[in-house]
Structure 1
Amino acid sequence: MSILSNLSRRASKLLKSKNATGVLAVARPSMSTTTTSTNLKEVLAELIPKEQTRIKKFKQQHGNKVIGQITVDMVYGGMRGMTGLVYETSVLDPDEGIRFRGYSIPECQELLPKAPGGGREPLPEGLFWLLLTGQVPTREQVDWVSKEWASRAALPSHVVTMLDNFPTNLHPMSQLSAAVTALNTESSFARAYAEGVGKAKYWEFAYEDSMDLIAKLPCVAAKIYRNLYREGSCIGPIDPGLDWSRNFSNMLGYADDADNGGQFAELLRLYLTIHCDHEGGNVSAHTSHLVGSALSDPYLCFAAAVNGLAGPLHGLANQEVLAWLEALRTELGVGEGEEVSDERMRDYIWNTLQSGRVVPGYGHAVLRKTDPRYTCQREFALKHLPDDPMFRTVSQLYRVVPDVLLEQGKAKNPWPNVDAHSGVLLRHYGMTETNYYTVLFGVSRALGVLAQLVWSRALGFPLERPKSMSTDGLMALVGAKPR
């Protein structure tokens, strides 16, 4: 079935989501009409005025409607469950998982164009087109993005010099953040704002910066990897005939991966697609949104997002999971090619929980089912590395851990999330440097937060400034007596 007929079939299909009160609501991408132009900026220029008009009318008619309530627990609990910002590119449903412009991960795997020559995983270029436009792109449109990013990829010399002079004990995420910050010398948005450009054109310069930054990120990330783990060897040139992920794979040092059917490049395509966005309330997305609301340029916004992603409760979790898996196998005395019984694994998990520790990679702040990002990585492993010892351990944990967590009764979500799987796949293909894993997460996350940033400027979102209160003020507000 063709992409167009798939879109036609889907046009009449309702997507399930929940509003702030938990009532089922109908939601569909608002920009699903196919556009034939291969120039992404031209497509946006056509879509933005229509969306501006639609939202202006909606605000005029419903701007004073109440959409929820805030409790004291929410205020102290990290604002969990508060509906407080608009984020266009993705929505996380507790039961359905992440949807990119209304499309689930399996649907994106089916509909988005693949790499020529038998690729099976979606190209991140196609996902970026979808995030920006709400439209599933054609092969020609995705090829345009690949070539456009290749043409913008060169790094300024001062950033290369800075990366080459970083000490080897500086964490890869710190290097990524610093390099992205330094790249803002190239910011079209900052220059245009300084020259007094009108607000109506903000999105155009945010778009140019976002395209430039996404194009350059694999070069920055590969340079960091080569400097830290490959004795500073050259990252090599960008090939304009290859897709973004394939070029990234080559620069990392996996150019000979073609002899293995290009599996690492395929893994990168999947990884960079599924980690790109997770609605607007997570730390990296919200940080980018917040900093952008001050009209900081996209480089500074994304650098701030990287710093949030570097936290152990966010992007750094994937390396922590792999370290825990390796420690588990060591403590249980599991050698290569060996396994332990489910009963012994169950005892280990119980001992872990009873000692006050957690099982990393299980549970999620929002999701209440197995993370679809975990599932698609599991399917990749079942196809390409079913006998990998670490993958077999991950599969065994999937059988054992949810039942233990349910029996314990404390976990709201006993199912695995994306971090429970990603490190195992990277390790299988020889990327054993766990400190680097979150850099890959960061390269992917740029697609989502920068797509949203373009729309934030197009829709004229204002400076974000929520009200804060002291504990005494909050007590007085609810009629409690301060001690």
Structure 2
Amino acid sequence: MSTLRTSIRYINLRAAAAVGHQVRHSSQALRARLEELIPQKAARLQTLKKEYGSHPVQTTTIAQVVGGMRGMKAMLWEGSELDANEGIRFHGLNLEECAEKLPKARNVDGSEGVMLPEAMLWLIMTGEIPTTEQVEGLAKDLAAQAALPEYTLKLLEGGLPSSLHPMTQLSIAVASLNHDSKFAQAYEKGVNKKELWKYAYEDSITLLAKLPAIAAGVYKNAYGKGLGARKCAELAQEGGDWTQPLALALSGGEERKGWADCLRLYLALHGDHEGGNVSAHTSHLVGSALADPFLSYSAALNGLAGPLHGLAAQEVLTFVKTMHDALGADASDTDIEGYLWDVLNSGRVIPGYGHGVLRKTDPRFTALAKFGSSSPTLSSDPLFRLVQRLQAIATPVLQKHGKTANPFPNVDSQSGACMQHFGLEEAPMYTVVFGVSRALGCLSQGVWSRGLGLPIERPKSVSLRVLEEGVKGAGAGAGQA
């Protein structure tokens, strides 16, 4: 452990030497910037409501109502926008631009790493590219609050059965932090609703600070591996960036070259994906009832745990491993193509392909593939290489099959192979890491929702009878009720 402490202190001292006095006074710079931005955006929102409140956004179809509200524009989400053909954009910036412009990690050997999740948080929350000094100040603020309260530690150190699914453990631990919620306390005291965003911000930073330690605690409790929650928090408080302590905790304290950067990239890429996905929408819905950030994000994690949302990466990894075992390391393209056709002809799907919105290769897949290809060890990993080959083979097969709207790979087809290469082999933990990441966007929007005074979410539901009567009234005819 002495080597680890030396490494982390080196990173911290290097940052401190670079910015000196400014770092010691910039930990609340993000909050101060929001103080300036929220009134400006609130004024824009009021103008829209007053002058264009009756302006239609789109016509809702029956297919959207009965099809999971697919494509229905019905909520305000500030952090990012997902375009079917262009992919994800964070305040107008695509992922390549984010990777280029956002401040990056500085490795122990002095080399430049990947974009920092803390930088992505600043961008999502403000719409602005932060300076290196601002990101280091934010990282320092997160590190100062990394320790978990004893009641949460007790849950993660034997209070919850090890057989409980890691996502359930994560959700319970996050919800437990509600015990000391500044937001809940402020609301109970009758604080002016216009001021509630400040307490939502404090809770959000607190939760983000503690999520790495919680994830480390879940790993230790579920699998008996890693350094656990207490040690992860201790490493965080010694300095460095938000991700490094988690990377070390998950590796059991082993310095695995490339692992921290892989994790940083994963956390930044998954930080937000507009507001309509299950976890984001859930956090928005629960938060609209003025539940505090701990409760709203705990609810979001329960949605993320669903097989159709956050569990996809582990399903892909199982599929790729099974294929590798069946075909062997020397499989030809023809062998792989035949295997894929056997899967499709048996009525199964090829996991990791297709997306609810995207109609192109997921830019997050591309970013992870680029990272892996530049890594000396990951680029030679058999499963990583098989995933890259699948991209060229599976898409034409799916196009010929004709039953997949988007025959291109999504990020889940890549992420599992990356994490298992660096030693995180327990697939249920992939969703836990996803849960650490998605907090960046969900909690940012929670702050903005309170800053803009958004109301409780309450859409109108309709029955089949109402839909049928509406169609009959339009003269189109419909089946009997």
TM norm structure 1 = 0.89
- C-alpha contact 1:147 1:240 (8 A) present in aligned 2: no
Q: Quick one: structure 1 residues 139 and 54, their matched pair in 2 at CA, closer, same or farther if it must change by over 3 Å? A: same
Match of 1:153 in 2: 146
When structure 1 is superposed on structure 2, of 264-273 and 238-247 the one drifting more is 238-247
* Distance (Å, rounded) in 2 between the aligned partners of 1:231 and 1:367: 37
Offset from partner CA, 1:286-331 (integer Å, 9 cap, x none): 0000001100000000000000000110011111110111111222
1:416 is aligned to 2:409: yes
1:264 aligns with 2:255: no
Residue in structure 2 matching 1:227, options 221, 225, 230: 221
1:273 maps to a residue whose letter is: A
Q: Residue 460 of structure 1 corresponds to which residue in structure 2? A: 453
Q: Deviations over 1:68-115 (max 9, x none)?
A: 111111111101111101101000011111111211111111001011
SS in 2 for 1:386: helix
State the AA in 2 paired with 1:340.
A
CA distance in 1, matches of 2:227, 2:47: 56
User: Structure 1 residue 438 and structure 2 residue 428: aligned?
Assistant: no
Partner of 2:280: 285
* Deviation digits for residues 421-448 of structure 1 (CA, Å, limit 9, x no counterpart): 0000011111111111100000000000
CA distance in 2, matches of 1:252, 1:126: 22
Aligned partner of 2:15 in structure 1 is none
- 1:184 is aligned to 178
Structure 1 contact 426–432 (Cα < 8 Å) conserved: yes
Render the CA deviation track for 1:34-69: whole Å, top value 9, x for unaligned. xx9961111100111111111111222211111211
Contact 1:249-1:268 within 8 A present in 2 as well: yes
CA contact (8 A) 1:284 1:306 kept: yes
One-letter code aligned to 1:114:
K
1:370 is aligned to 361
Secondary structure of 1:50 counterpart? helix
Query: In the alignment, which residue of structure 1 is the partner of 2:370?
Result: 379
SS, match of residue 256 in structure 1: coil
Does residue 53 of structure 2 align to residue 63 of structure 1?
A: yes
Structure 1 ranges of 4+ moved more than 4 A? 231-235
Q: Deviations over 1:243-274 (max 9, x none)?
A: 001121122235432xx54x111011100000
Structure 1 unaligned residues grouped into runs of 5+: 1-35
- SS of the counterpart of 2:64? helix
**2:203 corresponds to which letter in structure 1?**
D
Task: Output the CA distance in 2 between the equivalents of 1:37 and 1:378.
Answer: 34
Query: What whole-Å deviation, never above 9, does each CA across 1:182-226 have from its counterpart, x for those lacking one?
Result: 111121000000000011101000000000000000010001112
In the other structure, the counterpart of 2:269 is: 274
Instruction: Output the aligned Cα RMSD.
Output: 1.4
1:311 aligns with 306
Match of 1:103 in 2: 93
Q: Does 1:193 align with 2:187?
A: yes
Match of residue 350 from structure 2: 359
SS of match in other structure, 2:75:
coil
- In structure 1, C-alpha distance between the alignment counterparts of 2:454 and 2:111, rounded to whole Å: 42
Structure 2 residue matching 1:352: 3-state secondary structure: helix
Residues 164, 222 of structure 2: 8 Å contact kept: no
**1:131 is aligned to 2:130:** no
Correspondences of 1:87-98 after superposition (within 5 Å): 87-98=77-88
| Aligned: 1:407 with 2:400 | yes
Partner of 1:32: none
Answer whether contact 1:213 1:299 (CA < 8 A) is retained: yes
1:253 matched to which residue of 2?
Answer: 251
The aligned amino acid for 1:217 is: L
Q: Show the counterpart of 2:73.
A: 83
Residue of structure 1 equivalent to 2:32: 42
**Deviation string for 1:221-250 (max 9, x for gaps)?**
001112222357544212442000112112
> Please, what TM-score do these two structures have when normalized by structure 2?
0.89
State how far apart, in whole Å, the 2-side matches of 1:141 and 1:289 are.
27
1:241 aligns with 2:239: yes
**Contact conserved, 1:363 with 1:412, CA < 8 A, in 2?**
yes
Which residue, 211, 221, 236 being the options, matches 1:217?
211
Partner of 2:166: 172
Whether the 8 Å CA contact 2:284–2:446 is kept in 1: the answer is yes
Change (3 A) 1:207 1:402: same
Separation (CA, whole Å) in 2 of partners of 1:404 and 1:253: 38
Q: What runs of 5+ residues in structure 2 fail to find an aligned partner?
A: 1-25, 473-477
> Contact 1:318–1:419 at 8 Å: present in 2 too?
yes
Contact 2:312 2:352 in 1 (8 A): yes
1:373/1:231 CA distance change after superposition, 3 Å: closer
| Corresponding letter in the other structure for 2:207 | L
**Count of matched residue positions in the alignment of Structure 1 and Structure 2:** 441
Q: Provide the identity percentage.
A: 49
